[in-house]
Amino acid sequence: MARPLRNTKPDGTLYYRREVVEDEIKKLATLCVSELERRSAIWPSTVPGFVSPEALVYFVRNLPESSHRDKLTEKLLGRVVRRVPLATDAGGHTTSLTRMNIREDVVDHFVDLLLRDQNEYDNRLDYYEVNFNSAIAWDRQDASTRHWTHENRSDEMGSDETEVSNWVEAAVGGYDPFEADELDKKYYRLRLDDAIDSLPEFQRRIVEMLRQDIPIESKDPSVASISKVLSKSEKTIRTHRDKAFASLRLRLEHKGRA
């Protein structure tokens, strides 16, 4: 039997997964590691073997630390990204900074919940096991309301320069996705490329420039810094860099794992 959920509804009763999800989890638990990973990559939902996002959340929350869990986490984060509107046009160019911020907020919020849950059970994730699409829709609505309401004021007051949460800061620590010893490994480089591609657009651009050794800020006006190229303050760039590194660490770190 799948681990029961702990969060409660307003009437005091516990949340529970739909019966179809419970049955799915039971069947998926009998699969070998490679088969579960293969099926978690299936898209769209009409393709036979598709794994529901609710079941994916369950396995990511309950599997022990391992490269297997990392791979499922990567697929789960891809499901989150699919539920948030793009901020780019067909050519990959950003068309709306506000939509980009909304997209980043939804992904960052989910990553933060996963990090917290790995440290200590976070019952806010329970609803994602009950109705994943609805949970992400609520996150989108909250982020949309916040960013569209304050779009102009944000430009004037610089309110996008929010501090990285203690949880994200702790998750980053001294982590460096571009550590030389790791980059020497072809498998790691391939996974790193995939992980960077799955980041929100603004974070991806920052990480790609860091990878090219472009400085975040420079006092030399002739040097093209990241803050200058993206027209954001140094503090904002560092905030989004840390969020990006927290996401990359969640996907890629294998130290001490099977």
**Of 33-37, 148-152, 182-186, 238-242, highest mean pLDDT:** 33-37
C-beta atoms surrounding 102 within 10 Å: 25
Q: Which of 54-63, 87-96, 186-195 shows the highest mean pLDDT?
A: 54-63
Burial class (CB within 10 angstroms; exposed 0-12, middle 13-18, buried 19+) of 200: buried
Token pair of 140, please? 């989108």
Q: If you average pLDDT over residues 154-174, what whole number do you get?
A: 54
Model's pTM, two decimal places? 0.65
**Best-predicted range by mean pLDDT among 22-31, 102-111, 140-149?**
22-31
For residues 117 and 112, give the distance between their C-alpha atoms in angstroms, rounded to a whole number.
9
Ranges of each domain in the chain: 1-87+121-158, 161-258
Torsion of CA 81, 82, 84, 90, to 10 degrees: 100
CB 115 within 8 A of CB 250: yes
What digits encode the pLDDT tens for the residues 88-144? 656 665 556 677 778 888 998 999 999 999 999 999 999 999 999 999 999 988 888
Res 83 pLDDT > 50 = yes
Residue 182 scores a pLDDT above 70: yes
What six digits make up the tokens of 62? 């309950």
Q: 218-257 burial, b for 16+ CB within 10 Å, e for fewer?
A: eeeeeeebbbbebebebbbbbbbbbbbbbbbbbbbbeeee
